[in-house]
């Protein structure tokens, strides 16, 4: 099957540019696309808090409520702040655009680097957590968790390459199944707590605490639970993916997302406290809660399936935002231009593929371990939160538009709160892996600047300002040949149409073949001079380059053109049966400082 046919079957037929408005998302679909990351954190945020508090025994676990409520309050502040960002920047771009416009280029690049890192980690963490939910219900799959994770990322990548609207349809059912199943589990669990004649499980058999309850331990638990806020900024980054009016629809969807997240997060914390479940290897907290409420019947497996799907599909939020942010950076010349191009299905295909490859590498590197990946998580997102909110404060203070005092208060509170959380997360998780993100962000900023310098320098050199076209030069045509055949004769005829100064160059690797060529040359070459070069070390490219250097020295003002006869096989795999000398010659000539024109003259074979 031809590659083009396989591509069409996998991702669909190309879409016209005029269809962009029709590919935009309704609020219903957008909630599935942009909030899956945020909502999925419900499945592990409470578990991450308890994973730290359990070290201090029952006295530590008693703080789970205070920490959960503090995180809930922070959610409200951040969500309200981002609603203002959506209305102030309806074109999207999120933290990068806000920080760059209001704080300067370097804060903008810092926000962009932090977000790109966070998007990659979002894919890796959510898929790893989703696979953990699968292996909790099917322990025999645990040894294959890395392969399962990479397979899931590949499927999500493929779904996103099919287009925004189609991926929205694919991911809507799992997202709403997760919301409905978790809401049902919470309601049934609360009903049992209120009306069932049962006692709350205790912690009588609790082992001796591994650590004392300290302020640092509480801050570390708070930092771990703040993973629940990841993905809040996703909607502000992708405002242009919404139907008209974009800002209004985006802010409404953000409100839905925040309300749903708060309800589910607090609900899971209540159930975890009531049933006395604690984190343990081999089974997630949600699995233990579901088993306590529903037993091991069909409803238990529905919860596990919904959890696994939302955790795996949470990666889709990154696949929606990473390519968009990359395209904006590429348009600003901070990333390769290829990332700014829309693919066949009106999505940024190169960014989608890049994200899939890098996140798969992380899954392999960390062996699909959620707890090993989470310490790297959230540092980048809270850095971008802080820069975005600080940028909005600067915007309101400089413009002082109607209602600016209320707006600057909200964004100021958001900036202070997220900055405090950033310091706490960085300090609490530094030795556990957060240092990697802290070190990687400035390295990305340096990369952005180097790319920008390249594009800026290239633009200056290509500029027509002050440019004076040169007078036509004498043309010298050199035709490297491996013998005499139809392709060579055709190339010689083309070369003669360009200039009367044509030389064919043959590298002598075999005495008999050279003598045979001399005989045939006079019959078929049409009077073209043949230069035969010795090659004592059997190199083709080396003697040819030396000869071209000699021609350049003899004719410093001439334009040298190398015409390459190239036989093109009928099947791609036939290339494996032939020497690729033409490619080697082009590779050797392409990066020379002196301008040498390289022209291919192909001869296409029929079979």
Q: Say if residue 370 is in the same domain as residue 482.
A: no
- Shared domain for 260 and 317, answered yes or no, is yes
Mean pLDDT (whole number) for 326-334: 93
* Boundary residue ending a domain (455, 486, 512): 455
User: How confident is the model at residue 374, as a pLDDT?
Assistant: 64
pTM above 0.85, yes or no: no
Place of tokens 């074109």: 91
Give the residue carrying structure tokens 């919860």: 303
| Mean pLDDT of all residues belonging to the chain | 85
Q: Which of 1-15, 197-211, 219-233, 486-500 has the lowest mean pLDDT?
A: 197-211
Tell me what the mean pLDDT of segment 522-530 comes to.
88
At residue 562, φ and ψ (nearest 5 deg) are: -105, 115
Task: Let me know if residue 358 belongs to a domain.
Answer: yes
What is the domain range of residue 71? 17-90+123-378+446-455
pLDDT at 205: 45
Please report which confidence band the pLDDT of residue 113 belongs to, taking 50, 70 and 90 as the band edges: very high
- Same domain, yes or no: 483 and 364: no
**Residue 60 belongs to a domain with what CATH number?**
1.20.1740.10
Same-domain pairing of 493 and 372: no
Q: Which of 396, 420, 455 corresponds to the end of one domain?
A: 455
Please report which confidence band the pLDDT of residue 565 belongs to, taking 50, 70 and 90 as the band edges.
Answer: very high
The pLDDT of 465-489, averaged and rounded, is 86
Q: At what angle do helices 285-294 and 298-313 cross, to 10 degrees?
A: 160
Same domain, 61 and 201: yes
Is residue 563 a part of any domain in this protein? yes
Cis peptide before 245 (omega within 30 of 0): yes
Question: Is 564 inside any structural domain?
Answer: yes
Q: Is residue 166 part of a domain?
A: yes
Pick the more confident residue, 205 or 371. Answer: 371
Provide φ and ψ at 508, rounded to 5°. Answer: -80, 105
Nearest 5°: CA angle at 307, between 52 and 218? 15
Kindly state the average pLDDT of the residues 546-560.
89
Confidence of residue 203 (pLDDT cuts 50, 70, 90): very low
What is the distance between the alpha carbons of residues 251 and 259, in angstroms, rounded to a whole number? 12
Residue 277 DSSP SS3: coil
CATH code at position 493? 3.40.50.620
CB 410 within 8 A of CB 202: no
Dihedral pair phi/psi, residue 598, rounded to 5°: -115, 125
Q: Identify the pLDDT of residue 371.
A: 62
Residue 505: its H or E element: strand 502-508
Kindly state whether residues 450 and 551 are assigned to the same domain: no
Cα 299 to Cα 188: distance, rounded to the nearest angstrom = 11
Which DSSP helix (H) or strand (E) runs through 226?
A: none
Domain co-membership, 552 together with 450: no
Average pLDDT rounded to a whole number, residues 117-143: 82
What single-letter DSSP state applies at residue 509?
S
pLDDT tens digits for range 298-327: 999 999 888 888 877 778 878 888 998 999
Burial class (CB in 10 A: 0-12, 13-18, 19+), 496: middle
Average the pLDDT over 423-444 and give the result: 82
> Between 79 and 591, where is the model more confident?
79
Q: Is residue 562 within 8 Å of 478, Cβ to Cβ?
A: yes
pLDDT tens string 172-193: 888 899 999 999 999 999 988 7
- What is the rounded distance in angstroms from the CA atom of residue 507 to the CA atom of residue 505? 7
Question: Do 318 and 231 share a domain, yes or no?
Answer: yes
Q: Are residues 42 and 179 in the same domain?
A: yes
- Of the pLDDT bands very low, low, confident and very high (cuts 50, 70, 90), residue 204 is very low
User: Considering its fold, how many domains does the chain have in total?
Assistant: 2
Q: Please check whether residues 29 and 170 belong to one and the same domain.
A: yes
Domain-embedded: residue 221: yes
Residues 128 and 198 in one domain: yes
Residue 264's pLDDT band, with cuts at 50, 70 and 90, is very high
pLDDT at residue 2 above 70? Answer: no
Task: Say whether pLDDT at 330 is over 90.
Answer: yes
Position 127 confidence tier, pLDDT thresholds 50, 70, 90 = confident
pLDDT higher for 268 or 196? 268
Q: In this model, does residue 27 exceed pLDDT 80?
A: yes
- The per-residue pLDDT for 3 is 62
Please choose, from the candidates 12, 19, 25, 9, the residue with its C-alpha nearest in 3D space to the C-alpha of residue 317: 25
Tell me if 581 sits within 8 A of 545, measured CB to CB.
no
Residue 106 is predicted with a pLDDT of 94
Residue 262 belongs to a domain: yes
**Is residue 214 classed as helix, strand or coil in its secondary structure?**
coil
Task: Please choose, from the candidates 307, 21, 40, the residue with its C-alpha nearest in 3D space to the C-alpha of residue 164.
Answer: 21
Residue by residue, DSSP assigns 99-137 as: HHHHT-HHHHHHHHHHHHHHHHHHHHHHHHHHHHHHHHH
Distances (CA, A) of 106 to 89, 110, 360, 390, 445: 19, 6, 29, 14, 8
Percent with pLDDT over 70 in the chain: 93
342-388 per-position pLDDT tens digit: 887 778 889 999 999 999 998 888 787 766 676 666 788 888 889 98
In a domain, 511, yes or no: yes
Least confidently predicted of 23-27, 415-419, 492-496: 23-27
Return the minimum-mean-pLDDT range out of 240-244, 442-446, 502-506, 532-536. 240-244
Q: Is the pLDDT of residue 132 over 60?
A: yes
Are the C-beta atoms of residues 236 and 34 closer than 8 Å to each other? no
Report whether pLDDT(78) > 90.
Answer: no
**DSSP-assigned beta bridge partners for residue 572:** none
Alpha carbons within 13 angstroms on the beta-carbon side of residue 9 total: 6
Q: Tell me which residue of 443, 516, 496 sits closest to 110, measured CA to CA.
A: 443
What's the pLDDT tens digit per position in 481-507?
Answer: 988 999 999 999 999 999 899 999 999
* Residue 351 belongs to a domain: yes
Minimum mean pLDDT among 198-212, 233-247, 434-448, 481-495: which range? Answer: 198-212
d(CA 255, CA 16): 33
**Tokens, residue 467:** 């440019």
Q: Give yes or no: residues 450 and 520 share one domain.
A: no
The number of CA neighbours under 13 Å toward the Cβ of 223 is 28
561 bridge partner residues: 477, 597
pLDDT at 60: 81
What pLDDT does 1 receive?
A: 53
Average pLDDT over residues 554-567: 90
**Which of 52-56, 67-71, 139-143, 206-210 is least confident?**
206-210
**Average of pLDDT values for 252-264?**
93
Q: Looking at residue 372, what is its pLDDT? A: 67
Pick from 396, 424, 455: which residue ends a domain?
Answer: 455
Does residue 467 have a pLDDT over 50?
yes
């Amino acid at each position: 099957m031809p590659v083009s046919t396989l591509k069409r079957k996998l991702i669909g037929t190309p879409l016209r540019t005029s269809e962009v408005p029709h590919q935009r998302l309704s609020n219903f679909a957008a909630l599935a696309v942009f909030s899956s990351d945020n909502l999925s954190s419900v499945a592990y945020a409470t578990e991450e808090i308890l994973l730290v508090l359990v070290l201090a025994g029952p006295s530590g676990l008693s703080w789970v409520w205070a920490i959960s409520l503090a995180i809930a309050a922070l959610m409200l502040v951040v969500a309200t702040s981002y609603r203002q960002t959506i209305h102030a920047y309806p074109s999207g771009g999120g933290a990068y655009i806000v920080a760059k416009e209001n704080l300067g280029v370097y804060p903008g690049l810092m926000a962009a680097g932090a977000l790109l890192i966070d998007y990659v980690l979002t894919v890796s963490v959510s898929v790893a957590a989703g696979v953990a939910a699968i292996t909790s219900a099917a322990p025999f799959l645990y040894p294959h968790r890395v392969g399962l994770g990479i397979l899931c990322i590949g499927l999500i990548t493929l779904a996103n390459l099919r287009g925004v609207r189609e991926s929205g349809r694919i991911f809507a059912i799992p997202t709403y199944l997760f919301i409905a199943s978790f809401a049902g589990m919470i309601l049934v669990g609360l009903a049992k707590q209120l009306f069932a004649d049962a006692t709350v499980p205790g912690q009588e058999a609790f082992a001796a605490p591994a650590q004392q309850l300290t302020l640092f331990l509480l801050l570390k638990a708070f930092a771990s639970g703040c993973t629940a806020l990841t993905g809040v900024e996703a909607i502000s980054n992708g405002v242009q993916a919404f139907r008209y009016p974009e800002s209004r629809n985006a802010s409404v969807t953000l409100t839905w997302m925040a309300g749903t997240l708060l309800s589910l997060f607090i609900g899971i914390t209540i159930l975890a406290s009531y049933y006395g479940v604690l984190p343990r290897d081999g089974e997630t907290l949600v699995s233990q809660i579901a088993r306590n409420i529903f037993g091991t019947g069909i409803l238990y497996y529905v919860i596990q399936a919904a959890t696994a799907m939302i955790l795996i599909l949470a990666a889709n939020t990154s696949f929606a935002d990473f390519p968009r942010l990359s395209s904006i950076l590429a348009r600003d010349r901070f990333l390769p231009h290829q990332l700014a191009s829309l693919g066949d299905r009106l999505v940024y295909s190169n960014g989608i593929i890049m994200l899939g490859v890098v996140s798969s590498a992380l899954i392999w590197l960390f062996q699909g371990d959620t707890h090993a990946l989470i310490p790297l998580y959230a540092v980048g997102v809270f850095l971008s939160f802080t820069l975005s909110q600080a940028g909005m404060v600067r915007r309101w203070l400089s413009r002082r538009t109607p209602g600016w005092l209320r707006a600057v208060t909200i964004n100021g509170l958001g900036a202070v709160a997220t900055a405090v959380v950033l310091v706490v997360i960085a300090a609490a998780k530094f030795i556990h892996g957060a240092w990697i993100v802290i070190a990687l962000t400035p390295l990305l900023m340096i990369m952005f600047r180097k790319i920008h310098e390249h594009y800026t320098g290239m633009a200056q050199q290509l500029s027509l300002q002050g440019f004076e076209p040169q007078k036509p030069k004498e043309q010298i045509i050199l035709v490297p040949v491996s013998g005499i055949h139809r392709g060579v004769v055709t190339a010689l005829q083309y070369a003669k149409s360009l200039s009367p100064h044509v030389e064919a160059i043959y590298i002598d690797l075999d005495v008999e073949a050279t003598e045979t060529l001399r005989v045939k040359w006079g019959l078929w070459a049409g009077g073209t001079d043949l230069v035969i070069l010795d090659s004592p070390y059997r190199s083709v490219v080396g003697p040819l380059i030396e000869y071209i250097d000699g021609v350049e020295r003899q004719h410093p003002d001439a334009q040298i053109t190398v015409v390459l006869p190239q036989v093109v096989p009928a099947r791609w795999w036939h290339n494996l049966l032939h020497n690729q000398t033409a490619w080697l010659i082009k590779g050797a000539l392409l990066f020379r400082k002196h301008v040498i024109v390289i022209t291919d003259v192909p001869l296409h074979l029929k079979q």
